[in-house]
A and B are shown apart, each in its own frame.
Chain A
């Protein structure tokens, strides 16, 4: 049976990584402002896999069994590391991650686990939750 849509009004869990956007150094310099046009690495922004039909066609979270609701540019989520107490608000400014490349991947912390990559953060947002060198962290997400 298919999973119910992830409303994320109640917290859900996911893996999260980070991405750069806007002005940046090195290989990030070509990233641009993301699907919404105004993404910046130094702002508390995020990428969501279902911001539009075109976005969903790339990211395909459904292939991992995640039926994510459409959330468009400007929508805010509240996110927290599964082992942290800091909760931050992040605003959708890009499409991503490409969930279907990593189906079934899991990260755990303190006995709590998160499966599948459903959200990415800018470096500013990610570093409020964890270390950039960790690459991937387990988080909870709510609207």
Chain B
């Protein structure tokens, strides 16, 4: 779909009626690589992507998130029935809380609202070294800062050498590097671990 057409569709979808808000993802597959697979994108090298937002939630009004970017930019982000939401795992809008950090991808409406295709709440991607392993906790060094990584039963998975994810973390080793995808606990140095990538010995 042409980008302009997509915006016009989303504008009418989001702003049309209060009871028939449809998802940005009604345009196609839920898979991000196909949801956004409609064009080539080239911006000025240092331009901010207009269809992306980063920041922390400062207010929630109905299905609209008020977000203050880390660069102080203010965003209004419209969540629809088709918006995919991640917070440690795929979840629903009611998990969003004031204070959460987020990244959002969607389509910017003429009124400045970002109609969200996908929102990732508190997501972090940390390149770390494992300092210690305790019961249900990994102590991690992230560029000289200590991070406490919580293992979440039924959710946390490990990927060793690119093989399929498994729940067995026993191959993790103190002193080794690990990449952690997880959900930050706001205003702490703690994360809940979704996936830990490591090189098995």
CB distance from B101 to the nearest CB of A (A): 3
B:6-56 near A, CB below 8 Å: 32-34, 36-43, 45-49, 52-56
Q: Could you show 7 A-B contacts with beta carbons less than 8 Å apart? A: A26-B122, A26-B184, A42-B54, A44-B41, A83-B34, A88-B41, A105-B161
The residue on A at minimum CB distance from B120 is A132
The residue on B at minimum CB distance from A96 is B127
- Distance of A135 Cα from B126 Cα, bound (Å): 10
User: Which positions in B face A, CB cutoff 8 Å?
Assistant: 32-34, 36-43, 45-49, 52-56, 69-71, 84, 86, 90, 101, 103, 105, 118, 120, 122-127, 142-143, 145, 147, 161-162, 177, 179, 181, 184, 186, 189, 191, 194-195, 197, 199
- Distance of A129 Cα from B90 Cα, bound (Å): 18
Question: How many interface residues does A have (CB within 8 Å)?
Answer: 52
- Distance of A81 Cα from B36 Cα, bound (Å): 11
For A41, list chain B residues within 8 Å (CB).
54, 103
Q: Are A42 and B195 in contact (CB under 8 A)?
A: no
Q: Are A43 and B199 in contact (CB under 8 A)?
A: no
Q: Are A25 and B54 in contact (CB under 8 A)?
A: yes
The residue on A at minimum CB distance from B88 is A133
CB distance from A96 to the nearest CB of B (A): 9
- Distance of A97 Cα from B126 Cα, bound (Å): 12
- Distance of A44 Cα from B44 Cα, bound (Å): 9
CB distance from B2 to the nearest CB of A (A): 13
- Distance of A127 Cα from B53 Cα, bound (Å): 11
**Contact mask for chain A residues 86-122; partner B; CB cutoff 8 A; 1 contact, 0 none:** 1111010000011001101111000000000000000
Q: Are A17 and B145 in contact (CB under 8 A)?
A: no
Q: Are B70 and A107 in contact (CB under 8 A)?
A: no
Q: Are A123 and B54 in contact (CB under 8 A)?
A: yes
For B70, list chain A residues within 8 Å (CB).
22-25, 29
The residue on A at minimum CB distance from B42 is A89
Is the CB of A30 closer than 8 A to any CB of chain B? Answer: yes
For B194, list chain A residues within 8 Å (CB).
133
- Distance of A131 Cα from B177 Cα, bound (Å): 23
For A23, list chain B residues within 8 Å (CB).
54, 69-71
Q: Are B105 and A26 in contact (CB under 8 A)?
A: no
For B32, list chain A residues within 8 Å (CB).
127, 129-131
Q: Are A27 and B48 in contact (CB under 8 A)?
A: no
- Distance of A86 Cα from B38 Cα, bound (Å): 6
Is the CB of A28 closer than 8 A to any CB of chain B? Answer: yes
